[in-house]
């Protein structure tokens, strides 16, 4: 029977009270639509409910709590949701409780709402982070609205190292073929956080990879929130930058018999790998490698910090600066959505490779992988989430040690087998990935696998 006819008939016959009519209509609507109702579960008062956006039933159990989007609802004594007890959460509501976003002050998160700029560019759009004139996004051709080609960070928090620049967005969609990254110079020094009022959908690529070292004087540049690799060295190699950088390789020899050891890889979730040892052409001097960076940081990713840089190799030449430079650390990125995050594309924050070339000079160490923090009531990941370590630079002893990736940890650089071989650089550690949500789990696409840690959203 048509619902309107049924209701009219019941009302005209005065067979049911108004309350029964309301319950009957709700039952018909819910049964006909065939979707699960948020808050309707057999597990009791505070059992998990559906994601924000689902409707609540008309009646409830007194004292019961449920989420309706950003609002935490409370059931009153009359078995109906009580508007007087409704609480608008500063960030969002999940698993029937208010929760907070990491690393950004709660008062700042609370003011981020639907009137904020949206980042929803067309396919093929290129978005670069810039620090010129304040941290901001440059969109080419635009950020989604034709007149908007730039979105500024709300503020940069300087109370932590590195600092954190945070953006407020109403929605964030990166379609396939679109990319968000940083310039070759590395871009802002600050870690980057996005607070998003609506959904986040990533089908394109976010690239926060650390820069690879080259034969130029400078080491690889760290991505935003990450740290630089050590510059080209003369004499002993030098230590990279950051809280747990790779050490520089040794320089040793006499007359024309100089040799360099490999630089160590940057550390993060694990220690970075050691470089390789070198032996001069006459066989009478050896150049020791140095250690990779130590373990540093924490699994909560508070504060938000990227990977440390690799150390440079020892110089194995005379009157030529040629101890090869280390790779830059991967960046630090946080995306916090009030509703849901879906990743079908890729989010990358891998460490950069160390450089290496000649027979006698030590190879540079690889940079450590960076940090990726995703938090929302619902998170779905089918694409890649990558914080691999950078590879060490080559030398006469062979190719550099591989950075951490997949199920493999960072590998030591190659040491000499014959005279006249410098040591190669050590691989960088993997970074950290954290997935904060109601039912947290790490995706099979996370790399290195051991770098991913599922976690609960933080209660307010």
Domain ranges of the chain: 3-97, 98-460
Give per-residue pLDDT as tens, 17-58. 333 333 333 333 333 332 222 332 333 333 333 333 357 999
Which pLDDT band holds residue 358 (cuts at 50, 70, 90)?
confident
Question: What pLDDT score was predicted for residue 52?
Answer: 33
| 163's tokens | 């600092």
Both tokens of 423, joined, read 């040591």
Lowest mean pLDDT among 8-17, 117-126, 179-188, 314-323: 8-17
Q: Place 317 in a pLDDT band, splitting at 50, 70 and 90.
A: confident
pLDDT of residue 166: 98
| pLDDT at 210 > cutoff 90 | yes
Taking the CA atoms of 263, 266, 267 and 272 in sequence, report the sign of the dihedral they define: negative
- State whether the Cα torsion 99-103-108-112 is positive or negative: negative
Rg, the chain, Cα only: 27
pLDDT in tens, 409-440: 999 999 999 999 999 999 999 999 999 999 99
Which has more pLDDT, 182 or 14?
182
pLDDT at residue number 322: 85
Instruction: List the structure tokens of 27.
Output: 């039952």
Max Cα distance, the chain (Å): 111
Supply φ then ψ for residue 34, to 5 degrees: 70, 30
Contacts of 343 (CB under 8 A, 6+ apart): 202, 374, 379, 380, 381, 382, 383, 385
81-91, pLDDT tens digit by residue?
999 999 999 99
Confidence check: pLDDT of 327 > 70: yes
pLDDT for residue 107 is more than 90: yes
What is the β-pairing status of strands 446-447 and 378-381? unpaired
**Average pLDDT estimate for 162-188:** 95
Q: Which pLDDT does position 15 carry in this prediction?
A: 31
Enter the DSSP assignment of 287.
E
Average pLDDT over the chain reads 89
For residues 178 and 166, what is the distance between their CA atoms, to the nearest angstrom?
21
Residue among 351, 190, 368 at smallest CA distance from 269? 368
pLDDT of residue 7: 33
* Residues in a beta bridge with 455: 436
What SS3 state is found at 314? coil
**Bridge partner residues of 81 (DSSP):** 75
Residues of the chain above pLDDT 70, percent = 88
Q: Supply 109's token pair.
A: 């998160």
| Range in 153-167, 173-187, 317-331 with the lowest mean pLDDT | 317-331
pLDDT score for 152: 98
Residue-level pLDDT at 396: 96
H-run or E-run covering 434: strand 432-436
Q: Is the pLDDT of residue 112 over 70?
A: yes
| Amino acid 254: pLDDT | 85
Q: pTM, whole model, 2 decimals?
A: 0.87
Rounded Cα distance, 244 and 240, in Å: 8
Quick one: how far is CA 186 from the chain centroid?
Answer: 16
């Amino acid at each position: 029977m048509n619902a309107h006819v049924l209701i009219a008939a019941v009302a005209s016959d005065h067979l049911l009270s108004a309350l029964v009519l309301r319950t009957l209509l709700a039952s018909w609507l819910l049964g006909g639509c065939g979707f699960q109702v948020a808050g309707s579960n057999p597990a009791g008062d505070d059992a998990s409910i559906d994601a924000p956006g689902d409707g609540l039933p008309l009646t409830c159990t007194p004292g019961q709590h449920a989420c309706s989007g950003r609002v935490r609802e409370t059931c009153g004594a009359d078995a109906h949701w009580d508007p007087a007890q409704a609480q608008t959460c500063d960030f969002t509501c999940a698993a029937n409780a208010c929760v907070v976003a990491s690393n950004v002050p709660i008062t700042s998160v609370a003011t981020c709402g639907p009137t904020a700029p949206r980042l929803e560019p067309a396919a093929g759009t290129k978005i670069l982070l810039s620090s010129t004139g304040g941290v901001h996004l440059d969109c080419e051709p635009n950020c989604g609205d034709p007149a908007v080609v730039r979105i500024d960070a709300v503020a940069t928090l300087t109370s932590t190292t590195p600092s954190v620049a945070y953006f407020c967005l109403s929605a964030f969609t990166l379609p396939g073929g679109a990319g968000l990254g940083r310039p070759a110079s590395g871009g802002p020094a600050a870690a980057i956080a996005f607070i998003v009022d609506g959904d986040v959908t990533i089908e394109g690529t976010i690239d926060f990879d650390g820069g690879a070292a080259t034969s130029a004087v400078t080491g690889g540049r760290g991505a935003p929130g990450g740290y630089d690799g050590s510059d080209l060295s003369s004499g002993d190699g030098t230590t990279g930058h950051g809280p747990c950088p790779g050490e520089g390789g040794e320089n040793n020899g006499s007359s024309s018999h100089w040799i360099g050891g490999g630089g160590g890889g940057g550390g993060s979730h694990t220690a970075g790998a050691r470089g390789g040892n070198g032996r001069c052409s006459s066989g009478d001097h050896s150049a020791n490698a140095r250690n990779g960076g130590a373990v540093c940081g924490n699994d909560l990713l508070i504060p938000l910090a990227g990977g440390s840089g690799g150390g440079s190799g020892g110089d194995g030449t005379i009157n030529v600066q040629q101890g090869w430079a280390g790779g830059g650390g991967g960046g630090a990125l946080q995306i916090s959505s009030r509703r849901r995050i879906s990743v079908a594309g890729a989010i990358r924050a891998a460490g950069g490779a160390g450089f290496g070339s000649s027979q006698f000079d030590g190879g540079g160490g690889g940079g450590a992988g960076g940090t990726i923090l995703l938090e929302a009531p619902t998170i779905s990941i089918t694409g890649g989430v990558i914080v691999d370590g950078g590879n060490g630079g080559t030398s006469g002893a062979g190719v550099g040690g591989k950075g951490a990736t997949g199920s493999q940890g960072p590998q030591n650089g190659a040491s000499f087998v014959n005279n006249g071989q410098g040591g190669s650089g050590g691989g960088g550690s993997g970074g950290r990935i954290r997935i904060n949500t109601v039912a947290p789990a790490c995706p099979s696409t996370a790399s290195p696998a051991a770098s991913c840690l599922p976690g609960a959203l933080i209660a307010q």
